[in-house]
């Protein structure tokens, strides 16, 4: 096994975290799942596959990943979401990276491609991000931001890029996707408030059509059939919703009403 820890943050992922851990076991003897209060048996599934499960109440994306980093035994870390799978070719590439000792770079970007329902592998034209996911904890840590999911690297850190692709099975259904995006738009509205940002009325009007074009054309969802169209619509509405909620809060404050935060909504719903 490589001197590598793998960490996953999760809540109610029993139906798909098993596939993630099964693939990850080829790479590490230290798999950590930080659970924020699952009620569907996620913890049992993870433990049955050899993962260490640690509970931590949800503090936000960046804070939860920083907490997860601190639970890991090794300096080298690989972060996966509970709906992401490392395919065999990427696992072999990561194994080879450690075969002769410590990798030459301090961090590595890995391509992450979304797989829509009905697809078994990334579409030929699937849009993909390539964030840093494999890195030395001594040279980088996740940002503490509640919404910005990124690794902040130390000055001068050397960054490489792997050839393989993480498979991202992000969509259970369009309805479930919209629920997640709605919650995420609450957190982004909180973040705008915390930073004292002001979004123009023009953004409120232009956000939906601009982001539909971004997803449908720029991210090539147009090449992925009707599911691509529906996903682009969800993405555009989510981007509009975060700006609309920002404006709603401004109007509420002007009327002397205290807007609810994302954390308050989560507590009231029992999350």
Q: How far apart are CA 214 and CA 232, in angstroms?
A: 8
Q: How far apart are CA 122 and CA 112, in angstroms?
A: 9
CA distances from 43 to 18, 48, 49, 186, 271 (A): 10, 9, 10, 27, 16
Q: How far apart are CA 39 and CA 15, in angstroms?
A: 12
How, if at all, do strands 151-153 and 140-142 pair? Answer: antiparallel
User: Torsions phi, psi of 160, nearest 5?
Assistant: -110, -175
Q: Which pLDDT value is given to residue 269?
A: 46
Q: Determine the straight-line distance between the first and last CA of the chain, rounded to whole angstroms.
A: 36
Q: At 219, is the secondary structure helix, strand, or coil? A: coil
> According to DSSP H, which parts of 136-217 are helical?
174-194, 201-213
Q: Which pLDDT value is given to residue 16?
A: 95
CA distances from 62 to 79, 100, 113, 144, 151 (A): 12, 32, 21, 4, 9
Q: How far apart are CA 215 and CA 81, in angstroms?
A: 22
Q: What is the mean pLDDT of each run of 10 residues along the chain (271 residues)?
A: 92 96 95 97 98 96 96 97 97 94 95 89 88 97 88 97 95 86 87 83 94 96 91 94 90 82 52 50
Q: Which pLDDT value is given to residue 270?
A: 47
């Amino acid at each position: 096994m490589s001197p590598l820890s793998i960490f996953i943050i999760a809540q109610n992922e029993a139906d798909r975290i098993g596939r993630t851990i099964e693939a990850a076991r080829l790479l590490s003897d230290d798999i950590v799942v930080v659970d924020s209060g699952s009620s569907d048996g996620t913890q049992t599934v993870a433990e049955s596959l050899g993962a260490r499960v640690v509970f931590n109440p949800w503090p936000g994306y960046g804070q939860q990943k920083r907490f997860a980093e601190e639970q890991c035994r090794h300096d080298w870390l690989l972060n996966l979401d509970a709906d992401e799978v490392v395919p065999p070719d990427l696992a072999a590439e990561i194994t080879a990276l450690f075969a002769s000792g410590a990798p030459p770079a301090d961090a590595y970007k890995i391509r992450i491609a979304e797989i829509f329902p009905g697809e078994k592998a990334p579409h030929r034209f699937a849009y993909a991000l390539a964030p840093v996911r494999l890195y030395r904890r001594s040279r980088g840590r996740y940002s503490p931001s509640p919404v910005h999911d990124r690794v902040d690297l130390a000055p001068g850190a050397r960054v490489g890029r792997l050839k393989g692709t993480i498979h991202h099975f992000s969509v259970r259904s369009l309805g479930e996707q919209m629920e997640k995006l709605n919650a995420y738009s609450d957190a982004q509205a909180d973040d705008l408030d915390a930073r004292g940002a002001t979004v123009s009325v023009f953004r409120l009007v232009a956000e939906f059509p601009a982001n539909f074009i971004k997803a449908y054309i720029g991210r090539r969802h147009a090449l992925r059939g009707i599911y691509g169209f529906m996903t682009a619509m969800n993405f555009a509405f989510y981007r509009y919703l975060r700006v609309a909620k920002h404006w709603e809060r401004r109007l509420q404050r002007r009327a002397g009403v205290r807007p609810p935060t994302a954390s308050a909504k989560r507590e009231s719903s029992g999350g």
